[in-house]
Amino acid sequence: MSAALAEPAEGRMALALTVNGRSLRVEAEPRSHLGDVLREGLNLTGTHLGCEHGVCGACTVLLDGEPARACLTFAGACAGAAVTTIEGLDDDPVAAELRAAFNREHALQCGYCTPGMLVAARDLVLRLPEADERRIRIGLSGNLCRCTGYAGIVRAVMAVIADRRARGIPPETGTGRGLGPVGARIGETVAAPRAQPNRVTAATATAAVSDLATTFEPAHRFTQEIALAHPPEAVFALLGDIEAVAACLPGAVLTARPDADTVEGGLQVRIGPIAATFRGRARITRDDATLSGRVRGAGSDAGGRSATEGEILYRVGAGGTPGTARVGLDVGYTLTGPLAQFGRPGLVRDLAGRIAADFARNLGARLSGKAAPAAAGLDPIRLLVGLVRARLAAWFGRS
């Protein structure tokens, strides 16, 4: 970083950027992405923000001359880079041809996608002089338009490509380009400490311990089977002991039991680097005659951003050999919020499979009179208990 840059404000980093040809010093929090740096810091509001997770293409800008997602490029990642936004394409000949074609072909209505669409279209025009309609549609598939149905946009891009081909303009091959992510400079060391977290205080967090609706139509369903080397009656009896079940379920903790068939508590789940702790309430019903039961639960994660609702129907039956049991689980669930936006049902099933395997092992150990083996490494239960305690203390004004 150049010595000419003064010390940035606390929790912010100073960056040298060339934006639309002008050399600038900008300050940003490390967590700010380039879209926010441009819009909030430089008032370049032509870069639009849609989904902010790389899907919609509205924020597409040029980084070192190549299209990139502004929402997935954090401030520190592009220190020293040259950024061109839609405002910087006023005098660009290809963009001028595209603007005229978009106008002529009715390739926009509300205009929200248009800046990103023009940046993406310009890249296609420069790189793919032989592109047919299919190739253009594929090339534009990373930019969503909800008004036009794309027909006008595709016609406009095809027209510009055909015109340039007729004029004998060759494609840009990108041979002079270095390896690595566009906009990322080698050896440009920037650093900034974390800004003081402005977290939602525990007192206002909605730990939705919602009352459970009687009707529930899950979005996803799957089945799971657990085999245990113990008689069905013993297994069914253990499943009636809520404390024992919670102790065997990895990541689960009980915090309250308002009445005999209702429990409150939490479940910490982990998928790779994602950790979510759901807090909520469950109601349990059992039928001794059929050795079956139903658990209906609902909860939300710590910030109240992702929520889940679900039911588990279980039935204990005889196993393959005398004295063994098989527990059939029928799981239905609905997940909303960012976790649902990111996760796919398959990942949840994979996670459920791993939890079920651990659960079965712990149940078996308990039925054999052994303590449930401790989880290796991180102990989610201790972690969660600590978290819940801190939160309860906050609720009761003791923190």
Partner 1 sequence: MKPAPFAWERPASLAALLDRMATAPGSVKLIAGGQSLGPMLNLRLVEPDLVLDITGLPELREVRVEGETLVLGACVTHADIEDGRVPDVTGGALQRVASAIAYRPVRNRGTIGGSLVHADPAADWVNALMALGADVEIAGRSGRRILPVERFITGALEVALEPGEMLRAVRVPSLSHTTAWGYVKHCAKIGEFAHAIGAVRIDPAAGRGRAVIGAVEGPPLLLADARPLFGGRIDAAFAARFDARAADAALQAAGMADAVERHVHVTVLARAVAQAATPQPQPLPEAA
d(CA 87, CA 348): 43
Nearest approach, Cβ of residue 308 and partner 1 (Å):
14
**Closest residue by Cα to residue 184 from 34, 30, 78, 25:** 78
Nearest approach, Cβ of residue 142 and partner 1 (Å):
3
d(CA 103, CA 153): 10
Residues 177-203 as b or e (16 or more Cβ within 10 Å = b): eeeeebbbbeeeebebeeeeeeeeebe
**Residue type, position 193, single letter:** P
Q: Of the two residues 182 and 234, which places its CB atom closer to partner 1 in the complex?
A: 182
Q: Of the two residues 177 and 370, which places its CB atom closer to partner 1 in the complex?
A: 177
d(CA 277, CA 187): 39
Nearest approach, Cβ of residue 264 and partner 1 (Å):
24
For tokens 């074609």, what's the residue? 101
Q: Is the dihedral of CA 111, 117, 121, 123 positive or negative?
A: positive
Alpha carbon 272 to its chain centroid, in Å, reads 12
**Closest residue by Cα to residue 295 from 329, 251, 339:** 329
Beta strands across the sheet bearing 292-301 = 220-228, 325-336, 307-318, 292-301, 274-287, 262-271, 252-259
Any idea what DSSP says for residue 89?
A: G
Nearest approach, Cβ of residue 77 and partner 1 (Å):
6
Give the angle 38-42-43 at the CA atoms, nearest 5°: 90
Q: Of the two residues 105 and 123, which places its CB atom closer to partner 1 in the complex?
A: 123
**Residue type, position 165, single letter:** R
Nearest approach, Cβ of residue 72 and partner 1 (Å):
4
In contact, 313 and 330? CB cutoff 8 Å: yes
Q: Of the two residues 113 and 276, which places its CB atom closer to partner 1 in the complex?
A: 276
- What residues does 228 pair with on adjacent strands? 325
Nearest approach, Cβ of residue 396 and partner 1 (Å):
26
CA dihedral 241, 244, 249, 251 (to 10 degrees): 120
Nearest approach, Cβ of residue 263 and partner 1 (Å):
27
Nearest approach, Cβ of residue 330 and partner 1 (Å):
13
Q: Of the two residues 111 and 193, which places its CB atom closer to partner 1 in the complex?
A: 193
Q: Of the two residues 128 and 237, which places its CB atom closer to partner 1 in the complex?
A: 128
Q: Of the two residues 66 and 106, which places its CB atom closer to partner 1 in the complex?
A: 66
Q: Of the two residues 236 and 359, which places its CB atom closer to partner 1 in the complex?
A: 359
In contact, 312 and 330? CB cutoff 8 Å: yes
Nearest approach, Cβ of residue 197 and partner 1 (Å):
5
Q: Of the two residues 232 and 299, which places its CB atom closer to partner 1 in the complex?
A: 299
d(CA 299, CA 352): 17
Q: Is the dihedral of CA 94, 100, 105, 109 positive or negative?
A: positive
Q: Of the two residues 148 and 245, which places its CB atom closer to partner 1 in the complex?
A: 148
Nearest approach, Cβ of residue 388 and partner 1 (Å):
19
